[in-house]
Amino acid sequence: MAEKDYYKILGLDKNASQEGIKKAFKQLARKYHPDLNPNDKNAEEKFKEINEAFQVLSNPEKKEKYDKYGDSAFSEEDLSQFRNFNFDFEDLFKDFGFGDIFNIFGRGERGYESDYQEGEDIRYDLNISLKDAFLGVKKTIKIKVKERCEECNGTGGKESKTCDKCNGKGKIRTVKRNGFAQFVSVSKCDKCNGKGFIITKRCDKCNGKGFIEEEQELEIKIPRGVNNLQYLRVQGKGGIGINAPNGDLYVVIHIKNDTEFKREEENLFIEKKIDLLTAILGGTIEISGIDKDLKLKIPPATQSHTVFRLKNQGMPVLNSSQRGDLFVKVIVEIPRVGKLKEKKIKEALK
């Protein structure tokens, strides 16, 4: 058998990377794929050759053998196996783990649902205090994450056999004749549910589910100034995807109502009781701010429900060094008669 130059077949030199090999194969496959060149024997032959070259060079073990010994490293049988494969777009590319066959050939639709399914997004509701939102906080949350079972590679089976109904294709072609017309329909194989194989022995590790659910602890960093119902996205921690990315985890922040402070965006609001004398004569009162004690000057003759504004004593503004303001509504406490000496009141009102 003549020595074959697999690199040359793919139009590459010997230093080609795995990426380069895949890329070259994709390009050539697009050109010579028999489905795109019906009844063209040359294209078919060429495609077999490309495939053979790719099968060898894309496999590190085979590639090493080939680099050392050339194609004599493989038996005739091996080589014919590299060449003979099902001329089916999906099967072909699925085996090679590309998963983007439809992108390559520009086909808009996906084959079957079981072939491609994006992982679902998961929501986690996290309660924090207003103080936590003020300071920013790290919280450890526990979530149940589904991870693909490594043991069975997500199939759920320890042992499996090719589906005999669809011959491993996962779909069934039905031809119906109606007079001269012929209708071909392709449907998902009901025996294997489109998978192309049937599990004969369940995977013990995942109990046949194909995934393992485990509790994971995740540390969530909550930034200063976070607001109610804002969320943090943790990429890839949602449901598992099939030939598709995992879903994401959305941590939705709920800020518990604070007994003292009300919040509107970056501003805080409190009420503070002051006594009648301070309201009338004026004075300085102490306020517990969100992070420190503050002093507020009350001018003489202050009416009840007057609102004072303390600049930059509110919540931090998210992703900024600015702060909102603190609004203090003073409530004048009118003492019950008898508690305060009449004389003192009269004095104050002079």
Applying CB under 5 A, which residues contact Zn ion? 149, 151-152, 163, 165-166, 189, 191-192, 203, 205-206
In sequence order, which residues have a C-beta less than 8 Å from that of residue 81 and are 6 or more positions away?
A: none
d(CA 209, CA 287): 59
Read off the DSSP letter of residue 259: S
Nearer to Zn ion, 65 or 158 (CB): 158
Q: Is the dihedral of CA 38, 43, 48, 52 positive or negative?
A: negative
Q: Element (H or E) spanning 24, and its range?
A: helix 18-32
Measured from the CB of residue 144, what is the shortest distance to Zn ion in angstroms? Answer: 17
Q: How many CA atoms lie within 13 A of 296 on its CB side?
A: 28
Measured from the CB of residue 171, what is the shortest distance to Zn ion in angstroms? Answer: 8
Nearer to Zn ion, 111 or 314 (CB): 111
Measured from the CB of residue 213, what is the shortest distance to Zn ion in angstroms? Answer: 12
N residues, the chain: 350
Q: Element (H or E) spanning 276, and its range?
A: helix 276-281
d(CA 91, CA 195): 11
d(CA 90, CA 115): 9
Nearer to Zn ion, 188 or 323 (CB): 188
Extract the tokens encoding 264. 């509107």
Nearer to Zn ion, 212 or 285 (CB): 212
Nearer to Zn ion, 102 or 197 (CB): 197
Measured from the CB of residue 163, what is the shortest distance to Zn ion in angstroms? Answer: 3
Measured from the CB of residue 149, what is the shortest distance to Zn ion in angstroms? Answer: 3
Measured from the CB of residue 94, what is the shortest distance to Zn ion in angstroms? Answer: 14
In the structure, how many helices (H) and strands (E) does the chain have? 10, 15
Nearer to Zn ion, 149 or 298 (CB): 149
